[in-house]
Chains A and B, each alone.
Chain A
Amino acid sequence: MLGTFIITWRETIEAALIVGILLTYLNKIGQSKQFRFVYWGALWAVLASLIFAGMSDYLSVFFKDIGEDIFEAAILFLATGVLTHMVIWMHHNAREIKGALQHEAELAISKNRLWALATLAFVGVFREGMETVLFLWGFFLQGGGITSVAPPVMGGLLGVGLGVLMTWLFFKGFGHLDLRPFFRVSGFILLFMAAGMLSSGIGKLVSVGLVPPLMEPIWNTSWFLSERSLLGSLVAGIFGYRSSPSLIQALFYLFYFPITLIWLRRQRHDLAQ
Chain B
Amino acid sequence: MHFGLLLGLGLWLLGTADAEDGIRILIKDHRFSPSEVRVKANTKVKLLVSNEDETAEEFESFSLNRERVVRGGQSITIFLPPLKPGSYDFFGDFHPDTAQGKVIAE
B and A form one assembly: yes
| In the complex with contacts A3-B96, A56-B72, A135-B94, A226-B62 CB distance below 8 A | yes
Judge whether A246 is part of the interface by a CB distance below 8 angstroms: yes
Chain A interface residue number, banded: 35 or more
| In the complex with contacts A3-B97, A138-B55, A141-B55, A245-B65 CB distance below 8 A | yes
Judge whether A60 is part of the interface by a CB distance below 8 angstroms: yes
B62 touches A65 (CB 8 A): no
Taking CB atoms, residues of chain B closer than 8 Å to A227 are 62
Chain B nearest CB, measured from A98 CB (Å): 46
Taking CB atoms, residues of chain B closer than 8 Å to A69 are 68
- CA–CA, A18 and B92, complex, Å: 27
B78 touches A56 (CB 8 A): no
B79 touches A208 (CB 8 A): yes
Query: A213's contact among B55, B69, B81, by CB below 8 Å, is which?
Result: B81
List 16 additional A-B contacts (Cβ < 8 Å) besides A134-B69, A134-B71, A244-B64.
A56-B72, A57-B71, A60-B71, A65-B76, A134-B56, A135-B93, A137-B55, A138-B56, A206-B65, A207-B65, A207-B68, A216-B65, A220-B63, A227-B62, A244-B65, A246-B81
A141 touches B63 (CB 8 A): no
Taking CB atoms, residues of chain A closer than 8 Å to B55 are 137-139, 141-142
Considering only CB atoms, which chain A residue lies closest to B89 in the complex?
A228
A57 touches B73 (CB 8 A): yes
- CA–CA, A227 and B89, complex, Å: 13
- CA–CA, A245 and B64, complex, Å: 9
Taking CB atoms, residues of chain B closer than 8 Å to A68 are 69
Considering only CB atoms, which chain A residue lies closest to B77 in the complex?
A65
Judge whether A167 is part of the interface by a CB distance below 8 angstroms: no
A-B contact pairs, 30 of them (CB 8 A): A3-B97, A7-B93, A56-B71, A57-B71, A60-B74, A65-B75, A68-B69, A69-B68, A131-B69, A135-B56, A135-B93, A135-B94, A138-B55, A138-B72, A141-B55, A142-B55, A203-B65, A207-B68, A207-B79, A208-B68, A215-B81, A216-B65, A217-B63, A220-B63, A244-B62, A244-B63, A244-B65, A246-B65, A246-B81, A249-B65
Chain B interface residue number, banded: 20 to 34
Interface-centre pick from B62, B76, B79 (highest chain A CB count, 10 A): B62
Chain A nearest CB, measured from B2 CB (Å): 27
- CA–CA, A249 and B93, complex, Å: 22
Q: Mark A238-268, 1 if CB is under 8 A from B, else 0.
A: 0000111110010000000000000000000
Judge whether B67 is part of the interface by a CB distance below 8 angstroms: yes
Chain A nearest CB, measured from B19 CB (Å): 10
Interface-centre pick from B65, B72, B81 (highest chain A CB count, 10 A): B65
Taking CB atoms, residues of chain B closer than 8 Å to A99 are none
Considering only CB atoms, which chain A residue lies closest to B55 in the complex?
A138
Judge whether A209 is part of the interface by a CB distance below 8 angstroms: yes
Taking CB atoms, residues of chain B closer than 8 Å to A203 are 65, 67
- CA–CA, A138 and B93, complex, Å: 12
- CA–CA, A137 and B78, complex, Å: 24
| In the complex with contacts A56-B71, A142-B55, A209-B77 CB distance below 8 A | yes
Judge whether B58 is part of the interface by a CB distance below 8 angstroms: yes
Judge whether A102 is part of the interface by a CB distance below 8 angstroms: no
